[in-house]
Structure 1
């Protein structure tokens, strides 16, 4: 055997394998290394960035100083997203790698356009490239010892105005109650002052003590305790009489209409960590104010103020070297509503002692003139910073002042009857002039209904459509619904917008004809004919439906934002002009006829048309239970105002008879009658 031959072959084979292995390996380049460094930079992983620095750079700055400096500077300038492009170096300078990068900051984007030097060095028996770091890789132009200063350029939040330019949410001032710890006295005197101040401000003594605990507080420091409404002159006067207590004027969001428009405008408040997390990359920070509810939240993007900022580079002595980034402030947009503050206040003035909702529109234009929920809350309290005790009091109030009722849908009672009538007339299932005989005050279709009866308050032995409307005869409309048929009534209700979102930017609960959209049960169908059963209606939606009676059978499209554009229709021809005219005339009798259910709403010189309703919420027929009173009304001569008002718990107040005088008072106030 020739061992020499095999030895030569083995050597040759081993050499070939080494050659192949060498050809398959990838030698790291400076460009690869800078890409790795940049990837860590984009994640603000400063610790990893430091590990990629050259030995020379690491001798010049410690890891702790490196990481701390980046964190301090980038936090101060609110550094955000970074985009970077690492270019290919020239062949004769492989360690000089061009970099182009953009870093988002509070003062706008910062541009990095530099050639980064990298050095080859061995670490852990491996040779690779490492970054020769310079302070200019924190911020362009920065040198060792330089500092950064950022100045905020404040912007103004957009205001919310009514149709006439009256403010509903505006930028104003508030009174900040401050204390100077060293002037509060000592011992029992200090304790007494703190106790008196806490009582005046509606906070605990501990909250006053806690305000003075931070490390920055000195005996002569002016320490903020609570911000209060600037118009509360008596509180401010009494508080500042105490030793060591002062007032500072501060900028604040102000809601001049207070509780009357509380649910409509909503309020702004300090951004929370949760909300901040939900709005990444949108320029908010932990000091931002954001719309929390109502229009303030819905129109946050338009109303929001975007503060500007300037980033200055300073030398070690604090002298300004240059401005490295600047962004001008951007004020928010003003929003002008169709809301008329006079109408809004008139509605709330009639409702503030009750629980309920109201909507008012111009039935010819669709302009929403008022949206009220009662009881309400004062948004100024929230904007100034509501205490946990006050919030708990509102949350636990059995009248639920934090609940927005005008956005909800509930049983409309007899205010639904004109819709039943319109559908019946459209299908020719009733003759409006024909008298229908009704015996007594209760009726059932047949014995299969057991102990259940449709009842009525009126005793008229014969009624036609007109008298059934102004007397509000439940039996007539229960029978009419059965004549229409469940499938037809359910299907035609869709033409009126039932089951559909209202075309308005404010979220409203859709109205429903039944829980499943069907009316397959005769008893349910009969009850639905007069607005009971499972029918629910949103008050604004009901107002829009009634606009058809003055718009030749078409439903106007609602508008919440003021515009010069011509009004448009939401639902065209839901009934014929002839049917609309019949029902319009019949609804005038509800108010003008001596037997009309809204005869107490008559106004001399201002004829009204409308419909009352009492929605019943009873577990068992014939027993006492909760009732909600409704009244929808509009002026008939050149219609300008249509009001829908619902008051809860009117069972001991006269049902709808409690509501109609309130709506009357609104018309009198608005039309000066």
Structure 2
């Protein structure tokens, strides 16, 4: 056997290669190591950051102090996102790593532009680089013993104003109910006081006890228990009459119109973790307030206040060394609406005891004067902080006060008949003056309809278009729809905006002529002619349709934000001026003719036109079921108010005779009649 001979130099080279292979080949550089430190810094993982510190640095500051100091300072300045660039060190100084970083804070961005020295040392039998930490890695320019102070400068959230400058949402004050533990009686009297206060505030006695057990509470400390509306004077008086209970004024979002505008304005509340994720890099923090619903949410970007702040660096004696960052406060913008608070309140006062919706517009300008949903809720209670029991009471209410009804689309009933009439007249499908004989209160096209009939309440032996409108004859309009034809009816409905999003920033449900946009069944077409079948209409949309009767056949463009711009039309020439005038005259008879369905709503000295409607929701024909009550009305001489109102479940309340006096009362209030 032969053996190969190797030189000593060859053996040494082979040994070195094996050692390098065992070590993985690549040793981390100081730049690599500091990048790892920065990654932990960006996550504010202070414990991991401490593990990257050199032995010399760890002797100067303990892990507990290191983590605590970072957490305290970064929490105080509301430190957020951090971006950083770690550069390669100079070849002559491989241990000195330059970097640039920007840290978002409540006072704006703080920029680090430094060179950090790293030291090589062995840990767990491995050689690596470790950071020679300095306090300037907390904040630029900071030295051992220095302190940080942040001064905040509050900003004002924008107000939501009505057309006359009356506030619907504003920054104001609320009443905070506090207790002083040391002033409460002892024993049974103490328990009695806590029980009385709990009942007044709608909280539990345990909640009050828990609040007083907080670590920061002393016997003479004011302990906040509940924030209530500053206008609830009765509650405040009852609470503060108890020994040891006080009131403190605190800043709060205030809604002066309360429930009347609750669904319209919506409310603000503390930002949630989910909302923080949904609004990244927009300046929101865990302590921010944000619009949750309604206009507060819709116009959050304009309304939101962005507070200012100054971060000061102080020496150990409290003397200011420098200003690290500064951001001026930025007030939110005011939003002025076309809404008229007087009209809004008039609508709500008529609806507050019912479930329904009310819309008011100026039909000549398109200005939306009122948007009401009832029953409503008080947005002040949400802004102040609602208890679970209070919210549960609202959410479980069978009348659904949290449901915004003025945004919904539902069956309009006979208020839709003028649309059928306009389409029929446009295609000359009917002669408006021709009398149509109707011999019965029920009718069907032929025997293929089986047991289904179109029914009517009125018993007139014959009707023309005018009398069919003021008597609200379902059979006349079912027959008219069949004369128009399903394809023409469905196509023409699009000209009125059916199937289309309303041109307004406030989201509204889309009105539909049918579930699939077609009317290819004779029975469905006949029912659609008088606003049943599958027809659904949003109350604002219906108001815009009726505006065509005073705008020569064109539908006005709606406006919610006040402007001096010239009004424009949303849908031009949906009918001719002649048809618009003819239908306008017919709709006046709904009020003026003794047989008219709104005869009880006429007002002396004010000419009104409009239409009632009572859609039915029944599983089978002939059965009793749920009914809603609609009414659309407008003044015809110099038109400036058009009201659409819907009340749910009127089957036992007199149907259209229940809602017509309510609309009449709105006109009387607005016109001082």
Distance in 2 of aligned mates of 1:150 and 1:598: 66
* 1:524 shift after superposition: 1.2
Aligned pairs, how many?
671
The residue aligned with 1:154 is 154
Distance in 2 of aligned mates of 1:396 and 1:282: 36
* 1:116 shift after superposition: 1.5
Distance in 1 of aligned mates of 2:331 and 2:568: 32
Change in 2 beyond 3 A, CA 1:355/1:2: closer
- 1:57-98 CA-to-partner distances (Å, cap 9, x unmatched) read 222223333233222222221111111222333333232222
The residue aligned with 1:428 is 428
**1:589 counterpart SS class:** helix
TM-score, scaled to structure 2: 0.95
Distance in 1 of aligned mates of 2:3 and 2:237: 112
**1:409 counterpart SS class:** coil
The residue aligned with 1:252 is 252
- 1:353-404 CA-to-partner distances (Å, cap 9, x unmatched) read 1111011111111111100111111111222222222222222222211111
Distance in 2 of aligned mates of 1:231 and 1:49: 52
* 1:131 shift after superposition: 1.9
Name which of structure 1's ranges 38-47 and 76-85 shifts more when overlaid on structure 2.
38-47
**1:175 counterpart SS class:** strand
**1:659 counterpart SS class:** helix
Distance in 2 of aligned mates of 1:64 and 1:226: 36
* 1:137 shift after superposition: 0.7
The residue aligned with 1:191 is 191
The residue aligned with 2:396 is 396
Change in 2 beyond 3 A, CA 1:500/1:77: same
- 1:290-331 CA-to-partner distances (Å, cap 9, x unmatched) read 222111111122111111122222333444333211211111
- 1:107-134 CA-to-partner distances (Å, cap 9, x unmatched) read 1100111121222334455544332110
Return 5+ residue gaps in structure 2 as ranges.
none
The residue aligned with 1:83 is 83
**2:661 counterpart SS class:** helix
* 1:181 shift after superposition: 1.0
The residue aligned with 1:542 is 542
**2:214 counterpart SS class:** coil
TM-score, scaled to structure 1: 0.95
Distance in 1 of aligned mates of 2:254 and 2:653: 36
**1:89 counterpart SS class:** coil
The residue aligned with 2:325 is 325
The residue aligned with 2:647 is 647
Change in 2 beyond 3 A, CA 1:649/1:255: same
Distance in 2 of aligned mates of 1:392 and 1:51: 49
* 1:615 shift after superposition: 0.9
Map of 1:236-635 to 2, 5 A cutoff? 236-635=236-635
Distance in 2 of aligned mates of 1:482 and 1:345: 42
Asked if residue 233 in structure 1 is aligned to residue 233 in structure 2, the reply is yes
- 1:273-305 CA-to-partner distances (Å, cap 9, x unmatched) read 343343333333332222221111111221111
Distance in 2 of aligned mates of 1:16 and 1:216: 66
Distance in 2 of aligned mates of 1:386 and 1:9: 85
- 1:380-435 CA-to-partner distances (Å, cap 9, x unmatched) read 12222222222222222222111111111111000000111111112221111222
Name which of structure 1's ranges 211-220 and 197-206 shifts more when overlaid on structure 2.
197-206
Change in 2 beyond 3 A, CA 1:636/1:103: same
* 1:459 shift after superposition: 1.5
Return 5+ residue gaps in structure 1 as ranges.
none
Distance in 2 of aligned mates of 1:109 and 1:633: 57
Change in 2 beyond 3 A, CA 1:386/1:11: closer
Distance in 1 of aligned mates of 2:251 and 2:348: 28
Distance in 1 of aligned mates of 2:279 and 2:367: 33
* 1:219 shift after superposition: 1.1
Change in 2 beyond 3 A, CA 1:125/1:216: closer
Change in 2 beyond 3 A, CA 1:48/1:672: same
